[in-house]
């Protein structure tokens, strides 16, 4: 993300924070005395980044997602999604378009409902880049952004499912065309079935020199089928015709949005703090519940329950709840074994809170007290984790690769002191075969386009997750065999210090044992 684009995004978001409340909302407050022939739910005054007061509606809701007027217990005035305002979504779109060359067009696609079996669908989760740019949470949607030379910087066209009484009888309310303009700041809104026609005109225009789209539009591109799925009224020849008629260069959108998503705004940081608090508290409560549990699956269910009771919408990922030797399997998700006294439980689990993920791993003793070998190995991993977190500052000028190399060096020192006879490759290939860190945000693993060799910068959020997984090999002390330990936190990079977002998940040995024994306040 260029310095200019980052400055544009920061300026736009800062303006949202600094504008007096009266000025911020006054221009878009509904005038109750103004006569209108429209339904009260659709009254609005168009603004650059619309943020309207919506009358509290009787159940069922009239929109396809929560809004401040319908869900005041979840959202504040001006929010498009909980914690993120309409102004911030506008600032994101403007910063993106400012970073692209003149005569650029962005095409971002929403997600589609996925099915586990015929007629039985999974809970829908919106496509991440599309959600980041729009906040629109309904399936079968798309947005086109066209760069303009005016002060707004772009023209936004939103494509979505129109209101349909029969569909809404089964699926619930959808936002509809008119409200999409009112609520989401679109300049125009169209039925999704109009996307092929609009794309044809757009891609064939002489003024469209650069087209940024999810994946690649080239015939050999990996996302060809993905886009074709959205052109529900188009057959394959028509799709190929769209490609052949494109005048501009086809480019991938994800790297451009990924540069922006790497830097978390203050609002995003607040949501990620909350995700960490919810998940961390659930970890502590699950430790305390262990003495009443008999299986890994019970611990997994209890953790998810505790997150939901605190307002989390869903797990951020399939949890790992690995007891005993199962902890040596890094992505163990069967979670179907009984837990036994004397074993450790490794739980890698986090909640998604209002669109942002948390990723926390803790390891604790089933009986509530570490054995001496367990304690020694746990402390070794904890020492590595804490040392790496100390390096998570912009001033340290460390890259993800630098941090990982340092974690390997530190773990080698710790294990050597514990009597491990380490051969070449034992750390990286046997005992600690995974990477130390990854960016996190809307997705558990944020953009794969982030360069691991570049220094971390203030505003980034990453995980720090060293681990050790000891197989029964002769050159490793026998009392450590089949022990798996990982400790993981989400860390916000600041100029001269780091902030652990999952700070309330017990981690020190005394705190872990206290939580397990229900003596931790």
pLDDT, tens digit, 9 for 90 and up, residues 482-492 = 999 999 999 99
How far, in Å, CA of 38 to CA of 45, rounded? 12
**Other C-beta atoms lying within 10 Å of the C-beta of residue 460:** 21
Q: Which regions of the chain carry the CATH code 3.90.230.10?
A: 262-516
Report whether pLDDT(41) > 60. no
Which fold, 262-516? Creatine Amidinohydrolase (3.90.230)
Instruction: Give me the residue label for tokens 């000891």.
Output: 470
Question: pLDDT band at 12, cuts 50/70/90?
Answer: low
* pLDDT given at position 18: 45
- Its pTM surpasses 0.85: yes
Tokens of 466: 């060293």
Question: pLDDT band at 3, cuts 50/70/90?
Answer: low
How far, in Å, CA of 94 to CA of 104, rounded? 12
Question: pLDDT band at 201, cuts 50/70/90?
Answer: confident
As a whole-number percent, the residues of the chain with pLDDT over 90 amount to 75
Instruction: Give me the residue label for tokens 């993920």.
Output: 357
* pLDDT given at position 447: 74
* pLDDT given at position 96: 98
* pLDDT given at position 107: 92
* pLDDT given at position 23: 36
Strand residue runs (E) in 173-285: 188-191, 210-213, 249-252
Helices (H), 61-114: 86-99
Which range has the worst mean pLDDT, 4-13, 29-38, 189-198, 242-251?
29-38
Question: pLDDT band at 229, cuts 50/70/90?
Answer: low
* pLDDT given at position 106: 95
CATH of 3-260, one of 3.40.710.10, 3.40.50.720, 3.40.350.10, 3.30.360.10: 3.40.350.10
- Closest-CA residue to 360 (of 467, 176, 150, 505): 505
pLDDT, tens digit, 9 for 90 and up, residues 278-306 = 999 999 999 999 999 999 999 999 999 99
* pLDDT given at position 213: 87
Question: pLDDT band at 455, cuts 50/70/90?
Answer: very high
Q: Which regions of the chain carry the CATH code 3.40.350.10?
A: 3-260
Question: pLDDT band at 45, cuts 50/70/90?
Answer: very low
Yes or no: say if 424 and 363 are a contact pair by the CB < 8 Å rule. no
Strand residue runs (E) in 257-400: 314-315, 320-323, 344-349, 351-353, 356-357, 360-365
């Amino acid at each position: 993300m260029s310095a200019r684009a980052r400055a544009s995004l920061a300026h736009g978001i800062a303006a949202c924070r600094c504008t007096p409340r009266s000025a911020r909302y006054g221009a878009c407050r509904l005038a109750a005395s103004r006569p209108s022939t429209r339904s009260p739910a659709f009254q609005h005054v168009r603004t650059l980044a619309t943020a309207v007061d919506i009358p509290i509606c009787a159940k069922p809701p009239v929109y396809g997602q929560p809004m401040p007027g319908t869900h005041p217990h979840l959202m504040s005035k001006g929010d498009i999604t909980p914690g993120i305002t309409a102004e911030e979504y506008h600032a994101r779109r403007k910063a993106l378009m400012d970073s692209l060359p003149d005569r650029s067009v962005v095409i971002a696609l929403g997600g589609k409902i996925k099915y586990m079996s015929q007629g039985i669908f999974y809970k829908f989760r919106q496509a991440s880049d599309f959600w980041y740019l729009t906040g629109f949470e309904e399936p079968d949607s798309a947005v086109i952004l066209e760069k303009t030379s005016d002060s707004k910087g772009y023209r936004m066209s939103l494509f979505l499912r129109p209101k349909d009484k029969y569909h809404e009888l089964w699926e619930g309310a959808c936002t509809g065309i008119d409200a999409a303009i009112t609520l989401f700041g679109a300049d125009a809104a169209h039925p999704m079935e109009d996307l092929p026609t609009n794309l044809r005109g757009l891609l064939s225009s002489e003024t469209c020199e650069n087209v940024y789209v999810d994946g690649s539009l080239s015939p050999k591109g990996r996302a060809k089928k993905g886009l074709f799925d959205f052109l529900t009224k188009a057959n394959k020849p028509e799709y190929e015709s769209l490609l052949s008629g494109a005048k501009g260069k086809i480019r991938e959108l994800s790297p451009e949005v990924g540069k922006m998503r790497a830097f978390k705004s203050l609002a995003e940081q607040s949501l990620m703090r909350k995700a960490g608090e919810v998940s961390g508290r659930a970890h502590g409560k699950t430790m305390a519940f262990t003495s009443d549990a008999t299986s890994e699956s019970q611990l997994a269910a209890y953790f998810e329950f505790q997150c939901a009771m605190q307002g989390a919408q869903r797990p951020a990922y399939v949890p790992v709840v690995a007891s005993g030797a199962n902890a040596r399997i890094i992505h163990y998700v069967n979670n179907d074994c009984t837990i036994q006294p004397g074993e450790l439980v490794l739980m890698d689990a986090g909640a998604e809170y209002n669109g942002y993920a948390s990723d926390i791993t803790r390891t604790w003793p089933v009986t509530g007290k570490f054995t001496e070998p367990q304690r020694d190995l746990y402390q070794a991993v904890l020492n590595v984790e804490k040392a790496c977190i100390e390096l998570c500052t912009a001033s340290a000028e460390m890259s993800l690769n630098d941090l990982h190399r340092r974690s390997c060096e530190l773990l080698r020192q710790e294990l050597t002191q514990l009597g491990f006879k380490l051969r070449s490759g034992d750390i990286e290939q046997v005992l600690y075969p995974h990477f130390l860190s990854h960016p996190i945000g809307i997705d558990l693993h944020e953009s794969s386009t982030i360069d691991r060799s570049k220094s971390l910068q203030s505003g980034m959020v990453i995980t720090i997750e060293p681990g050790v997984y000891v197989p029964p090999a002769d050159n490793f002390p026998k009392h450590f065999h089949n022990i798996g330990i990982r400790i993981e936190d989400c860390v916000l990079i600041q100029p001269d210090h780091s902030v652990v977002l999952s700070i309330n998940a017990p981690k020190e040995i005394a705190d872990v044992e206290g939580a397990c024994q229900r003596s931790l306040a």
